A and B are shown apart, each in its own frame.
Chain A
């Protein structure tokens, strides 16, 4: 399949701290790619670079064959890069429905309403609570809202940053079922997770990130079977 997202030699800094030390990652159309790694490995930083909300020191990001390294974030959303960020980041005082409509901010026309209905079908709880402030939802519901809001952009690639963080096991299972369903519907997904086992189990391919560098890169099942991965991330 055609490469959709291609990251090469990417570095990024927070002041003098180097968070990414030359990352190479590709995601092909229709793929579900997982990025796993410990706390502080640089996973969020990488996603922030892809969305354009974090400055890149060197290296490049290209999307659908176009160099987007310097493109402002709002134009990247227009191209089809959409992210459900770490910590959900819903618009707390605004209604659930407004959150979803803002997800479609770069789009116009009647297809928005159809997608809104599709989201409500996928997440019935959001329909029930559509008029409530997003901040009043539970953690799991906010996570669903963050994912649904990202989907409202009708993305060509969906970036998910730790969608299972802080959720009860039952909800984690539900979120992962949703991700699998999205993949089966053809969505390209780049999934960042600390829950390495669950992420690699559903992923086509995976990358293991350690202190700003990719240390392993293989198909999901191979990584699950890899001794180093087992030891470091799966607690086996």
Chain B
């Protein structure tokens, strides 16, 4: 009984951590531009596919992982430079549609560059399961937890302890004021796409040994990251993390106790529930502005 629950919990936390990273990616871009980047899932896919195929072709794992992160960041930067930046005077809805188009383009390109097959990456440190109170935990799940934790701490540090991070935050709170103190908002926008792509790639890479990946993997991962971000309150970083874990755990429990057919439906249910009943999400956007 409890062992089964624990098993579902482990699996939920593992995917939840990836959704949290994707959700943070949504939050960062949303904050710098009010745009919901529907190509976020593609960054996850590119990270997973690049690392998997590089390792399969004989590149040592650490190098393959670093390259995969760079490739995904390059995709993020290219997306901003060639699709978002030229449309910066259009309204937000137009730009959101551009991101949808870009995601379709990236999936098509992935299918051409790679193929339609599933790819995997060897687990980072072995495949022998660890027994925990009747349940089992794969060592790769520990990697997922640890890497996500480190990434979250690093992000916190970046946004709270570096001037550029603070400038990005400042831009999200008040764009005009940021411009007036000398923040280059174009640079902020570019950085937010690069950073979100990096977050996606990291998630995609650590989870690929567990879930495998293919050119379409970004659709569902992006959707779940989006539901994490919406649940936590769009633009709220901490909310996206909590949201990601909730989505992950909810779908693991639903597929464990009900039927695995419900697994992917949970994210939709959560999005609809939030949109109808709590449009600001669990935490809303932090706002203490007094006018």
Interface size class of A (residues with CB under 8 A): 20 to 34
Nearest-Cβ distance from residue A138 to partner chain B, whole angstroms: 8
Closest partner residue, chain B, to A104 (CB atom): B181
- Contact yes or no, A98 B184, CB < 8 A: no
Q: 1/0 per residue B166-187: CB within 8 Å of A? A: 1101100110111111111000
Minimum CB distance partner of A47 in chain B: B180
Question: Does the CB pair A102–B184 fall under 8 Å?
Answer: no
Interface size class of B (residues with CB under 8 A): 20 to 34
Inter-subunit contact B166/A98 (CB<8 Å): yes
- Interface-lining segment among A85-93, A210-218, A221-229: A85-93
Please, how many angstroms separate the alpha-carbon atoms of A74 and B188 in the complex? 12
Binds B, one of A21-29, A30-38, A60-68, A75-83: A75-83
Contact A74–B177 (Cβ < 8 Å) = no
Q: Are A92 and B180 in contact (CB under 8 A)?
A: no
Q: Which residues of A contact B167 (CB under 8 A)?
A: 102, 105
> Which of B170, B287, B291 is A102 in contact with, Cβ under 8 Å?
B170
From 141 to 184 in chain B, residues with beta carbon under 8 angstroms from any chain A beta carbon are: 163, 166-167, 169-170, 173-174, 176-184
Cβ-based interface call for A149 (8 A): yes
Contact with A along B9-32 (1 / 0, CB 8 A): 000000000000000000000000
Contact at B181–A105, with CB atoms within 8 Å? yes
Within 8 A of B (CB), among A76-125: 77-78, 82-83, 85, 87, 89-94, 98, 101-103, 105-106
In the bound complex, how far is the Cα of B178 from the Cα of A105, in angstroms? 9
* A72, closest chain B residue (CB): B184
Query: Which residue of the partner chain A has the closest CB to B160?
Result: A98
User: Is residue A73 within 8 Å, beta carbon to beta carbon, of the partner chain?
Assistant: yes
Q: Are A85 and B176 in contact (CB under 8 A)?
A: yes
Partner of A92, one of B166, B176, B181, B288: B288
Verify B290–A136 contact, CB threshold 8 A: yes
Residue of B nearest to A132 (CB): B288
B289 at interface (Cβ–Cβ under 8 A)?
yes
A/B interface sample: 16 pairs, CB < 8 A? A72-B184, A85-B176, A85-B180, A89-B174, A91-B169, A92-B173, A92-B290, A93-B288, A101-B166, A105-B181, A105-B182, A106-B182, A135-B289, A137-B290, A139-B290, A153-B182
Residues of chain A at the chain B interface (Cβ within 8 Å): 51-53, 72-74, 77-78, 82-83, 85, 87, 89-94, 98, 101-103, 105-106, 133, 135-137, 139, 142, 149-150, 152-153
